């Protein structure tokens, strides 16, 4: 028996998220189908996290145990030939049997992308929220800083969260603005919001972004982020931003040179 850890990239537009669910076409279903076609095994894969419907991944990971004798270096090509073109395996490594893609992960990074230009970019339409209205990036930066650290993020979690504890740690959070990609002058550019933490609750990044956009629009002050966090009440935060702007950027492990 071998435990294989795989890194994948996918365009989530067509999927009901990563994880298998009743009646939904998910990324996990497509991966398990491909493994079954290749090895004849009925395996259950374990993802490093769930993603919501329509959310994308640049580098997500999953692991599964197999009795197949296929050499490690053959899996990527063999599975990619059995996967749809919006899912690609990019790396495969063998890991110890006790390794778990989610429990062994040290850091996860998500990126949320906002097109702030007047006209959206047709080539990135499925990957960017379009927000042509003026945003105060400085204020958003300031608001975001209040979320760094170890906190109870109940205010920024879905009411449907089933987790026992809503305490998580955000190690880093930053904003990058890509200019010069818009159609005309005086454009806001593309605003990327990055969040790195030890784990994220359901809808957490999207609710943070939805609230931060209100700070950028001047509807809330940067300090409100702190007040909202302390309230531990979902109703104090802003709306859940559209899923299409969100991308699981990276999953990092301590002892492996795999990310």
Residues of each annotated binding site: 110
Regarding 259 and contact with its own copies (CB under 8 A), the answer is no
Q: Nearest approach, Cβ of 121 to its own copies (angstroms)?
A: 7
Regarding 250 and contact with its own copies (CB under 8 A), the answer is no
Binding site residue list for substrate: 110
Q: Which of 5, 10, 108, 237 binds its own copies (CB under 8 A)?
A: 10
Q: Which of 2, 82, 88, 236 binds its own copies (CB under 8 A)?
A: 88
Regarding 1 and contact with its own copies (CB under 8 A), the answer is no
The count of other CB atoms within 10 Å of the CB of residue 186 is: 7
Regarding 91 and contact with its own copies (CB under 8 A), the answer is yes
Residue 52 a catalytic site member: yes
Provide the β-strand partners of residue 109. 196, 250
Regarding 71 and contact with its own copies (CB under 8 A), the answer is no
Structure tokens at 123: 């080539």
Regarding 26 and contact with its own copies (CB under 8 A), the answer is no
Q: Of residues 33, 52, 91, 152, which has the active-site annotation?
A: 52
Regarding 253 and contact with its own copies (CB under 8 A), the answer is no
Give the interface segment with its own copies, choosing from 25-33, 113-121, 134-142, 236-244 (CB under 8 A): 113-121
Residues of this chain, 125-154, that bind its own copies according to CB under 8 A: 125, 127
User: How would you label 175-185 residue by residue, b for 16+ Cβ within 10 Å and e otherwise?
Assistant: beeeeeebeee
* Complex with its own copies: residue 21 or 80, whichever CB lies closer: 80
- Assign residue 193 a region: left if phi > 0, alpha if psi is -120 to 50, beta otherwise? beta
Regarding 86 and contact with its own copies (CB under 8 A), the answer is yes
Regarding 72 and contact with its own copies (CB under 8 A), the answer is no
| Cα(11)–Cα(15) distance, integer angstroms | 8
Q: Nearest approach, Cβ of 65 to its own copies (angstroms)?
A: 23
Q: Nearest approach, Cβ of 47 to its own copies (angstroms)?
A: 17
Regarding 66 and contact with its own copies (CB under 8 A), the answer is no
Residues making contact with its own copies (CB under 8 A): 7, 9-11, 56, 76, 80, 85-91, 119-123, 125, 127, 183-184
Catalytic sites, residue numbers: 52
């Amino acid at each position: 028996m071998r435990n294989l850890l795989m890194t994948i990239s996918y365009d989530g537009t067509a999927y009901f998220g990563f994880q298998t669910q009743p009646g939904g076409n998910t990324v996990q279903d497509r991966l398990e189908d491909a493994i079954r076609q290749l090895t004849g095994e009925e395996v259950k894969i374990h993802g490093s996290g769930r993603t919501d419907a329509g959310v994308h991944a640049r580098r997500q990971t999953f692991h599964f145990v197999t009795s197949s004798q296929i050499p490690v270096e053959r899996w990527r090509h063999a599975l990619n030939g059995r996967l749809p073109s919006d899912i690609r395996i990019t790396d495969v490594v063998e890991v110890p049997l006790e390794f778990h893609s989610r429990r062994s992960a040290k850091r996860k990074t998500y990126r949320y992308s906002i097109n702030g230009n007047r006209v959206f970019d047709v080539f990135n339409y499925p990957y960017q929220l379009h927000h042509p209205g003026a945003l105060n990036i400085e204020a958003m930066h300031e608001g975001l800083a209040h979320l760094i650290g170890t906190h109870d993020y109940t205010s920024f979690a879905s009411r449907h969260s089933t987790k026992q504890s809503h305490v998580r740690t955000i190690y880093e959070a930053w904003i990058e603005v890509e200019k010069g990609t818009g159609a005309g002058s005086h454009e806001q550019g593309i605003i990327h919001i990055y969040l790195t933490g030890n784990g994220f609750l359901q809808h957490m990044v999207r609710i943070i972004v939805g609230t931060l956009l209100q700070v950028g629009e001047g509807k809330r002050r940067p300090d409100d982020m702190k007040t909202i966090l302390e309230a531990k009440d979902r109703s104090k935060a802003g709306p859940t931003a559209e899923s299409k702007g969100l991308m699981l950027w990276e999953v990092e492990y301590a002892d492996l040179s795999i990310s």
